[in-house]
Amino acid sequence: MSSAEKTIITYGTFDLFHIGHLNLLRRLKEMAGRVIVAVSTDEFNAQKGKRTLIPFEQRVAIVEAIRYVDLVIPEVSWEQKIDDVKTYGVDIFAIGKDWEGKFDFLKEYCEVVYLERTHDISTTELKRSLKHFLSIPREDVLRALDVLDALRRELE
């Protein structure tokens, strides 16, 4: 079977969508003609112990808009993967290497692939940077802007 005839599925939260997510979805499209993405619901993320900034409906809308993605379904539990593989005729299950080995039980039903993650970007890191920036006192930001304005005037 050519890759164009294959169906691939992945699962994830895709909060604060970033280049790491995009690189993964692009890789999936290189591996199969049909790409299905199961996006974790807010309720399931609570079970995963993950707090998301972007609500489920918006995370779905963003992933659906990605040209590499053909179908988005909700991820509501850890147990749905085998049924999904059967329901959608999935040939390949793929996910980032941070999950290496965790889904080998699916090898009975489809190919299982763990893909390299994109380095130096993660939702956790983005949240940390945002939190740091927002913690800078307003007057410090304004003072820095004044210094920048003064420098710009000197350089004109």
**Positions marked active-site:** 48, 50
d(CA 53, CA 37): 19
Number of Cβ within a 10 Å radius of residue 122 = 15
Part of the chain binding ligand C2G (CB under 6 A), chosen from 10-18, 64-72, 104-112, 136-144? 10-18
CB 38 within 8 Å of CB 145: no
CB 81 within 8 Å of CB 113: no
Q: Which is nearer to ligand C2G, 49 or 137 (CB)?
A: 49
Q: How far is CA 5 from the centre of its chain?
A: 24
| Run of H or E including 7 | strand 7-12
Part of the chain binding ligand C2G (CB under 6 A), chosen from 28-36, 105-113, 115-123, 144-152? 115-123
Part of the chain binding ligand C2G (CB under 6 A), chosen from 65-73, 82-90, 93-101, 130-138? 93-101
CA dihedral of residues 116, 45, 127, 102 (deg, nearest 10): -20
Minimal distance, residue 33 CB to ligand C2G, in Å: 20
Which two structure tokens, joined as six digits, stand for 79? Answer: 């147990």
Residue matched to tokens 């199969």: 32
The answer to the question of residue 95 lying near ligand C2G (CB under 6 A) is yes
The answer to the question of residue 75 lying near ligand C2G (CB under 6 A) is yes
Q: Which is nearer to ligand C2G, 28 or 91 (CB)?
A: 28
d(CA 138, CA 129): 16
Minimal distance, residue 110 CB to ligand C2G, in Å: 15
Q: How many residues interact with ligand C2G (rule CB under 6 A)?
A: 18
Residue from 26, 29, 117, 127 binding ligand C2G (CB under 6 A): 117
Return residues touching ligand C2G (CB under 6 A): 10-14, 20-21, 24, 40, 50, 75, 95-96, 98, 117-118, 121-122
